[in-house]
Structure 1
Amino acid sequence: MQTIKVNIVTPDGPVSETEADMVIAATETGEIGILPGHIAMVAPLQIGALRLKKGSSTENVAVHGGFIEVRPDVVTVLAQHAEMASNIDIERAKRAAKRAEEALRAKTDKLEAQLVELDLKRAMNRIKVYEMK
């Protein structure tokens, strides 16, 4: 079976360089599945899980925004932040979610509330991806 090369990069450096049979990503317009030979495209990513299917196993990555560039032989994820499920500190993510929920209840300024809501989404994404492993 053919595979596709997958590179996940953040401003802090590479997160993963691997190969997969299929890549599933949450884009701004919906979830997409990418197989080897896929047409070239670029799409903005949502805060969500990136799933790398390899045979019967799936590796999950928490991705917090950015872009996905697809070429027939390689997928490059340029993320603001990305974390492999195996590297997520679940207790830290739960504490961050709790702090964000409490801060969200206390915020009256619209901009501050939106920023805290993004913090909450990122924390919830990390928890979800951790639980998927």
Structure 2
Amino acid sequence: MTLNLRVLSPNRVVWDSEVKEIILSTNSGQIGVLPNHASLVAAVDIGVMKIRLNGRWSTMALMGGFAKIDNDKITVLVNNAERDVDINLKEAQETFRIAKADLARAEGKRQAIEADVALKRARTRLEAINASPPVSNENFGE
């Protein structure tokens, strides 16, 4: 059995295909979704989504939004998303370095909040590249 996963940002379709499983970062923690999952609407946090397809895992950096799960269809509407294979490691590392420096220099509550969000986005992009796949039953012949 499979799930139909669609990840949409304001300017493009980031993902649209059948998958076996996803692990999604929500505002209340991570959730795993397999076929026949209960219907659900959840706020998506800035974080990494893991996608299992054909026994392999891919990752995607999500920049906040909403997810709807219903009848083995998952629609994820996000502010922005990047697949791990589309993220340039050197650029992501530089963005992270700049975001850390900006947070250290932030003056006032508003600047600190904005810098903290920028740092979280930069960290998520690096995590998407470096994410190690979780263990699945498929790896053990089940």
Instruction: Give your verdict on TM over 0.5.
Output: yes
In 2: Cα distance, 1:50 partner to 1:121 partner? 15
Task: Flag as ranges the 4+ runs of structure 1 deviating above 3 A.
Answer: none
Partner of 2:31 in structure 1?
Answer: 32
C-alpha displacement of 1:132: 2.2
Gaps of 5+ in 1: none
Q: Percent identity between the aligned chains?
A: 28
Aligned to 1:66, the other structure's residue is in SS state strand
C-alpha distance in 2 between matches for 1:23 and 1:120 = 25
Give the Å deviation of 1:55.
3.7
Aligned length: 132
Query: Aligned partners of 1:107, 1:27: CA distance in 2, in Å?
Result: 27
Q: TM-score w.r.t. structure 1 length?
A: 0.94
What residue is the counterpart of 1:15 in the other structure? 14
Tell me the TM-score normalized by structure 2. 0.89
Alignment partners' CA distance in 2, 1:130 and 1:8: 18
> Cα deviations across residues 3-53 of structure 1 (Å, max 9, x unaligned)?
000000001111011111111101111111111121211000111111111
Partners of 2:89 and 2:129 lie apart in 1 by: 7
Distance in 1 between the 2:48 and 2:102 partners?
25
Question: Quick one: distance in 2 between partners of 1:16 and 1:108?
Answer: 39
Show structure 2 runs of 5+ residues with no match: 133-142
Instruction: State the match for 2:43 in structure 1.
Output: 44
Distance of 1:36 and 1:14 partners within structure 2 = 22
Alignment of 1:1-133 (within 5 A): 2-132=1-131
RMSD: 1.1
